[in-house]
């Protein structure tokens, strides 16, 4: 699967999308609401997890990631307002799933926090890149802007590799942790998917609420997650 | 006392300051280290306190303040690096006092968090503005830049006034809380002052470690704090 985002000219069906289609509008507002709440919570969770950093240098690096997430929240919220929607209302349907994800994946220590930051950044990048191709040009531009600002987690890689080198035993624990993170993310996403048909159709590129297509999307996300785990020196 | 920052031309003694004076250099590095650590901790504490917000709108407003503080931290840290100093080393002497301040002033609820955000922002603005007049032009420019970006706490005023209107009993509790905040800030500042003579001399505009001058500075800070408490509808 290519990770490139096609330009509107390459895909005529995209150019036809507009907000007068009530189902498309509902799906886009859902998407922006889910992403906005996800980014806001990423800000707060990263800021909280930074307290476990071994020094102020690492603490400030995690804070940099948190600040970037807040910038994304701002863009998404402002877009909702521009479209005439109340951001609070648009975010509400996703609060339970996103809070549930974080409640069940609170890092026990600094290394788990680093892996969560790295894995979360990667999965978010994949998702933004995938969904961008199915959006109208304006929403696509916003999503691509946010996506191009992701990837602040590169500093995590070196720290995690060093920790594994210093104590190879942690590799097993972190590999397990990585699987748990993706497992919980998929569980919560499936919960949302069961309740938001137009959003699912949008994310799948117009396909109906097809269980097979959803499962394939998660399988593809998991494959790319596994690649990232390997790049950290962890068994996927 | 005027809150205006005089331009270098108004005060010739300032223009003569430079980093070849080892005492001045030590004091400036201390000042930048203390402010940098203060701003970084402000970021983390505001982000943590935001969890008590009644809704996502207020949560994001506190996050906006936190993000602004982190921007100040970046400027101060980069200035230390530019001057050839390790930010971690420059911040270390102030960790105990600043952490101690926050440990003894953890807000019990959202309203206490709002008052702390508002009071902290105000006291910081006063301090930056006061100290700016005693600095060399480059450091002064940095401090004035940070100072001009303070004041993100205005949204607190309306929320606090509404809470007092809805339940006048909270006014007494919040007035006490405001006094405690300033009391702890002064206690921790005095602790630092006892150990950092060149910094004290700088902050006092070249006066020696004169106990009377320090006390007058705190009295002046307290007066301005009292004005702000009155503007919230709280007994100072």
Distance, CA of A194 to CA of A189 (rounded, Å):
9
Q: What is the pTM of this model?
A: 0.87
CB contacts, 8 Å: B73 with chain A: 60, 63
Question: Rounded to an integer, what distance in angstroms lies between the CA atom of residue B181 and that of residue B222?
Answer: 11
Between chain A and chain B, how many beta carbons pairs sit less than 8 Å apart?
Answer: 57
- Closest Cβ–Cβ partner in B44, B57, B77 for A88: B57
User: Does B63 contact A43 at a Cβ distance shorter than 8 Å?
Assistant: yes
Rg (chain A; Cα; Å): 18
Q: How far is B118 from chain A (nearest CA, A)?
A: 20
Banded pLDDT at A64 (limits 50, 70, 90)? very high
Residues 6 or more apart whose CB falls under 8 angstroms from that of A211 comprise: none
Banded pLDDT at A209 (limits 50, 70, 90): low
Residue A139 has what pLDDT?
92
Q: Best mutation site among A34, A49, A61, A67 for testing chain B: the one with the most B CBs within 10 Å?
A: A67
- Name the residue among A51, A64, A88 with its Cβ closest to that of B44: A51
Interchain pair B40, A59: CB under 8 A: yes
Q: Is residue B66 less than 8 Å (CB to CB) from chain A?
A: yes
pLDDT of A17 = 61
Residues A158, B47, A77: CA angle, nearest 5 degrees: 95
CA A84 to chain centroid = 25
Burial class (CB in 10 A: 0-12, 13-18, 19+), B90: buried
Mean pLDDT score across all residues of chain A:
87
- Percent above pLDDT 90 for chain A: 60
Q: What is the pLDDT of residue B13?
A: 46
Span B100-147, pLDDT tens digits: 999 999 999 999 999 999 999 888 888 898 888 889 999 999 999 988
* Separation of alpha carbons B217 and B192, rounded Å: 14
A96 touches chain B (CB under 8 A): no
B14's tokens: 């300032």
Residues 6+ apart with CB under 8 A from B162: none
**Within A83-168, where are the H helices?**
87-104, 110-132, 137-148, 154-166
Q: Do the Cβ atoms of B63 and A57 come within 8 Å?
A: no
C-alpha angle with apex B109: B108 to B113, nearest 5 degrees?
95
Q: Which residues of A touch B37 (CB under 8 A)?
A: 56
Record: contact B63-A50, CB cut-off 8 A: no
pLDDT, tens only, B5-35:
444 444 444 445 667 788 899 999 999 999 9
The C-alpha of A198 sits at a distance from chain B's nearest C-alpha, in angstroms, of: 25
CA distance B67 to chain A (A): 6
B47 touches chain A (CB under 8 A): yes
Q: What would the two tokens of residue A167 be?
A: 């104590």
Q: Which two tokens stand for residue B82?
A: 């530019």
* A85 at B interface, C-beta within 8 A: no
B51 contact residues in A (CB cutoff 8 A):
44
- Look up the ipTM and state it: 0.83
Among A205, A222, A201, residue whose Cα is nearest residue A126: A222
Q: Name the region of A205 (left: φ>0; alpha: ψ -120 to 50; beta: rest).
A: left
| A88 lies within 8 A of chain B by CB | yes
| A205–chain B nearest CA distance, Å | 30
Q: Determine what percent of chain A is predicted with pLDDT higher than 70.
A: 91
């Amino acid at each position: 699967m290519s990770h490139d985002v096609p330009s509107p000219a390459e895909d005529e069906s995209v150019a036809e999308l507009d907000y007068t289609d009530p189902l498309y509008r509902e799906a886009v507002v859902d998407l922006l609401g889910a992403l906005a709440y996800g980014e806001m919570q990423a800000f707060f969770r990263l800021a909280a997890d930074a307290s476990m950093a071994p020094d102020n240098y690492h603490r400030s690096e995690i804070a940099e990631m948190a600040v970037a997430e807040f910038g994304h929240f701002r863009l998404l919220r402002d877009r909702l307002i521009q479209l005439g929607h109340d951001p609070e209302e648009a975010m509400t349907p996703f609060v339970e799933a996103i809070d549930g994800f974080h409640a069940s994946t609170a890092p026990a220590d600094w290394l788990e926090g680093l892996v969560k930051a790295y894995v979360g950044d990667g999965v978010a990048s994949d998702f933004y890149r995938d969904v961008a191709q199915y959006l109208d040009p304006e929403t696509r531009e916003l999503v691509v802007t946010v996506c191009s600002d992701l990837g602040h987690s590169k500093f995590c890689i070196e720290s995690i590799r060093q920790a594994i080198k210093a104590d190879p035993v942690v590799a097993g624990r972190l590999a397990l942790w990585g699987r748990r993170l993706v497992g919980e993310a998929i569980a919560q996403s499936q919960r949302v998917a069961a309740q938001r048909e137009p959003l699912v159709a949008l994310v799948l590129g117009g396909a109906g609420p097809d269980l097979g297509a959803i499962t394939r999307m998660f399988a593809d996300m998991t494959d790319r997650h596994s690649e990232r785990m390997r790049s950290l020196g962890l068994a996927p």
